[in-house]
Amino acid sequence: MPKFAQRMTTMEKSARVVEKLFKSMTSPETISFGGGAPAKELFPTKILQEISYELFGAPQQGQRMLQYGSPEGERELREVVAQFLLEPKGVCAVPEDIMIVNGGLETMNLICQVFIDPGDVILVESPTFVHCVEIFEMFQAKCVAVESDEQGLCMDDVEQKIRELHPKMVYVIPTFQNPSGKTLPLERRRKLAELGSRYDVLILEDDPYRDLRYSGEELPPIQAFDATGHTVLAGSFSKIFSPGARLGYVHASPAIIAKLYNAKTATNSQTSTLIQLLCAEFFRRGYFPAHLERVIDLYRERRDVMIQCIDRFFPAGTRRTFPDGGLFTWVELPGGINTTELLEQAWSYQVAFMPGEGFFVEGNGKGTNCMRLSFGNVSPENIRVGMERLGRLIADAAQGAN
């Protein structure tokens, strides 16, 4: 067999190991807070039944859905992004500066294609979203963690590391962060946009959870404060429409969009025309506001139940975040409990979670006593049952450790 490329040597991370562990645990009785999947009962199946029936039945629309489209995406969907998803958040957008991609994650890959040479430094949060780190490392970037406090990324440390390390970009999930559930406050957003402009550093703003706000005050994206085109905003339809559709979008300066167009062409030509037109029609027919309200109401309840259960079933000294939105909360356990080892015992308690260690690029045992808990795809009843099991597991492990 011919030799694999250099970039493939970085691709066997601990996250992959955890993934395998999860697969081995899969059973209908296991209650899993591990994955980040949305609640399937929320998916607009009936609406899409109606829309697909009508579009496939209209000869011109039906043929158009099945024919080649364009690398930048169908105009209708780019208009939907501008009108329904960006303008209400304070980002002034025209369809020409928007590209449709095959799911939110594809933007990170395309931005790496456009900007990352081997050895380039990327500043990331601590903890950060592990799948994007995998992408960055596949492009042979060097990921360096920036300090975080209760409110997220610390701006002093960002600036210091920019001066020291001259990174190509800063990768940040500012709203209901994955995995921590934290939200970067207004002043830090403004500051981060300024730092990008001042030091000529790209800010890659990954914002897939933005519309899922259950409490607290709406905040504009970092990009709203960017006057120089240094911020790239990556959005997704996965959490507000459907993850199985594989639809995301990127909003960036014309010069960056032009390069992304080339990278997209050389990756997979275009995103599915069929899916784009179905999704655009969902918004154009006015279904989005009521759908989003249902989604938010359901997740809010689940978040509240999850938080109550942590406070009730987890040991004294446990620290947790309170996410104002999104799908995750982050827990730091007291004592010397290693959550990666804990997960191996979890199968006999029929409960699962995501150990914290894999979310840190620093290594050094950081996050070994942490876990990410996802409440989106578990019913309130099952959250209670599963969290009680998890509490028992932790108590038993703590006893074993003593």
State the burial class of residue 255 (Cβ atoms within 10 Å of its Cβ: 0-12, 13-18, 19+): exposed
Q: Which is nearer to its own copies, 256 or 390 (CB)?
A: 256
350 with 30: CB under 8 angstroms?
Answer: yes
Q: Please choose, from the candidates 270, 331, 282, 298, the residue with its C-alpha nearest in 3D space to the C-alpha of residue 110.
A: 270
Angle between helices 59-66 and 273-284 (to 10 degrees): 130
Q: How many residues does the chain have?
A: 402
**CB 260 to its own copies: min, Å:** 10
Instruction: Using CB atoms within 10 Å of the CB of residue 375, give its burial: 0 to 12 exposed, 13 to 18 middle, 19+ buried.
Output: buried
Q: Which of residues 201 and 370 has its CB atom nearest to its own copies in the complex?
A: 201
3-state secondary structure 317-346: CCEECCCCECCEEEEECCCCCCHHHHHHHH
Residue 293, C-beta contacts closer than 8 angstroms, at least 6 positions apart: none
CB of 71 to its own copies, least distance (A): 10
Select 184 or 245, whichever has its Cβ closest to its own copies.
Answer: 245
Q: CB of residue 350 vs its own copies: minimum separation in angstroms?
A: 22
Q: Measured from the CB of residue 125, what is the shortest distance to its own copies in angstroms? A: 19
Smaller CB separation from its own copies, 1 or 316: 1
> Residue 235 pairs with which residues in a beta bridge?
249
H or E element at residue 144: strand 142-145
Comparison of 277 and 397: residue with beta carbon closer to its own copies: 277
Which one, 116 or 387, has the nearer CB to its own copies? Answer: 116
Q: How far apart are CA 65 and CA 38, in angstroms?
A: 26
Minimum CB separation of residue 221 from its own copies in Å reads 19
Between residues 120 and 332, which has the closer beta carbon with respect to its own copies? 120
The pairs formed by 7-13 with CB atoms below 8 angstroms and a separation of 24 or more are 7/138, 7/139, 7/140, 8/138, 10/137, 10/138, 10/140, 11/134, 11/137, 11/138, 13/130, 13/133, 13/134, 13/137, 13/358
Q: Dig out the tokens for 375 from the structure.
A: 């409440």
Least Å distance, CB 242 to its own copies, is: 4
Q: Which is nearer to its own copies, 14 or 308 (CB)?
A: 14
**How far is Cα 338 from Cα 341, in angstroms, rounded to an integer?**
6
Smallest gap from Cβ 25 to its own copies, in A, equals: 16
CB of 82 to its own copies, least distance (A): 22
Closer residue to its own copies, CB minimum distance, 69 or 325: 69
Name the pairing type of β-strands 31-32 and 351-352.
parallel
Q: Bridge-partner residues for 251, per DSSP?
A: 98, 233
Minimal distance, residue 254 CB to its own copies, in Å? 11
